Structure 1
């Protein structure tokens, strides 16, 4: 049997485990960049989709943007 070298040293792994276990936030918001992917991007997508829906309803109700 050949022992593989770990991806990270054991000390760093234990340090990261302590950090993540001590944080009181939700599991998906524990990393420093996770707030961008879990909060900002969905809010931006929701905001832009609501804007496009409202614009489409306005255009339909006023007859703007018809093709022919």
Structure 2
């Protein structure tokens, strides 16, 4: 089988120059790898903190309601 027949003829998503430029930018940043993007602080920090805070509030409210007998079904 000829090697040129196995090659893909699809064009890349981005030009190589842009890709190398973005690689240089990301490699020069000295942060954790999960915080390198512009929106990564929201997805990696804010959303988990909001979920943890909400769950702690709901757990605390449930314990309070159980200990005081509030909200029982008859």
TM-score, normalised relative to structure 1: 0.94
Moved over 3 A (4+): none
Within a 5 Å distance, the mapping from 1:1-68 to structure 2 comes to: 1=5, 2-68=8-74
Is the radius of gyration larger for structure 1 or structure 2?
2
Unmatched tracts of structure 2, length 5 or more? none
Deviation at 1:47, TM superposition (A): 0.2
Across the two proteins, how many residue pairs are aligned to each other?
68
Distance 1:42 1:60 in 2: 27
- How well do the aligned residues superpose, as a CA RMSD in angstroms? 0.9
